[in-house]
Chain A
Amino acid sequence: MPTGNSSILKDGLRAAWPICLGYVPIGLAFGVLAQKAGLSPLAVGVMSALVFAGSAQFIAVAMLGAGAGIASIIATTFAVNLRHLLMSSALSVYLRGIRKRWLTLFAYGVTDESFALNLVRFREGNWDWKRALTVNHVTNAVWVASTVAGALGGALIPAHAFGIDYALMGMFLCLLVYQLRGRIYVLTALVAGAAAVGISLTVPGNSYIVAASVIAATAGLFIRRRWPSR
């Protein structure tokens, strides 16, 4: 694998484009919404840069609009983003021996999207932490820029153009396909999906992501231990 800075940047950009494409409409929509809630473009940029978490930001703006207090918004953000704990745990397997300060920089960009993409690349080989870090920070830059653009004049941009709203779903579907490398993974995914739907229909919020993933991986581990041939 080439180690030059330009090839690292090129590989990172080439990998990151589906995420960037998906972030643009969501970022614009967030900016428009935040601006309507009374936030300036600067305020939007500050939140996007400090938090970098799509759904939590949407929820925070809605809560601000409803007059919620700072403490309750922060507590909600914590609950909504706790799922990253699982993602960073899974990524850590591929980040052995990396210096702490790089990990500190890397952690900032761990999102649903960068996690799924980087994990697949790491597993396929031909991927290293510098390329993964590029993905994290390129997607972050696109997120910050799209949200600010949305706050500046997003209402002028036609929404829902060219099916762009489906970009991230398309990416997730393909990344899921990459994960189905054997019966045990298919089984785990099925359990997770069923549990997630069940929990999401009964419990408000997004705790279903963590709950269903933990249930499914634990069930999968149990089955794998019990019937090792799978």
Chain B
Amino acid sequence: MMTTDYFLLCLGMGLVTYVPRWAPLVALSQRSLPRWLEEWLDLIPAAILSALILPALVTAGEPRQLSLWNNDLLVAGPVFLFALRTRSLGGTVVVGMALYWLAGNVLG
């Protein structure tokens, strides 16, 4: 299926996705920002990463419910410690995959 309607749908989806990606880059990179805004933006990455990670680890289902016993969460502890100790991105990815694979095979 590749109708005009479908193409317009993709175009529309692309546009509404692109504009929020583009506007701040062009608007904010061409001027110097007030100090408070720079400090605020400096805290954004830690906040976003945590907001992306934690619900993925401790909630499941639709509608979402708290789920404190699952392989994703179980593996996250040792993987986090490994990252803290080694600070190696590649190593953390590989160790995470290995532990997750192991957990899947051992615990099901």
Which A positions have Cβ atoms within 8 angstroms of B? 17-18, 21-22, 38-40, 42-43, 46-47, 50-53, 56, 60, 70, 73-75, 77-78, 81-93, 95-98, 100, 103-104, 106-108, 110, 112, 115-116, 119-120, 160, 162-167, 169-180, 184-186, 188-197, 200-201, 204, 208-209, 212-214, 216-218, 220-221, 224-225
Number of A-B contacts (CB under 8 A): 284
> Across the interface, which residues of B come within 8 angstroms of A96, CB to CB?
29-30
Residues of B near A83 (CB, < 8 A) are: 48
**Known contacts A171-B89, A175-B49, A216-B50; A95 and B13 CB within 8 A of each other:** no
Residue in chain A with minimal CB distance to B94: A170
List B contacts of A180 (CB < 8 A).
46
List residues of chain B with CB within 8 A of the CB of A208: 51, 55
A198 and B94 alpha carbons, distance in the complex (Å): 30
CB <8 Å contact, B17 and A166: no
Closest CB in chain B relative to A202 CB, distance in Å: 9
Cα A22 to Cα B97 with chains together (Å): 10
Question: B66 is contacted by which of A184, A201, A220 (Cβ under 8 Å)?
Answer: A201
A151 to chain B, nearest CB (A): 11
A164 touches B17 (CB 8 A): no
Closest to B7 in A: A46
Task: Report chain A residues within 8 Å CB of B100.
Answer: 163, 165-166
- Is the beta-carbon distance between B93 and A197 smaller than 8 angstroms? no
Q: Among the interface residues B17, B40, B47, B83, which one has the most CB atoms of the partner chain A within 10 A?
A: B47
List the A side residues contacting B84 at CB < 8 Å: 177
Is there contact, CB below 8 Å, between B47 and A170?
no
Q: Contact partner of A103 among B29, B36, B92, B96, CB < 8 A?
A: B29
Residues of A within 8 A of B57 (CB): 169
Are B49 and A172 within 8 A (Cβ)? yes
> What residues of chain A lie closer than 8 Å to B36, measured between beta carbons?
221, 225
Contacts of A56 in B (CB 8 A): 13, 17
For the complex of A and B, list the 9 residue pairs with the smallest distance between their C-beta atoms, beginning with the closest. A170-B96, A163-B101, A50-B14, A166-B100, A107-B22, A193-B54, A163-B97, A92-B28, A163-B100
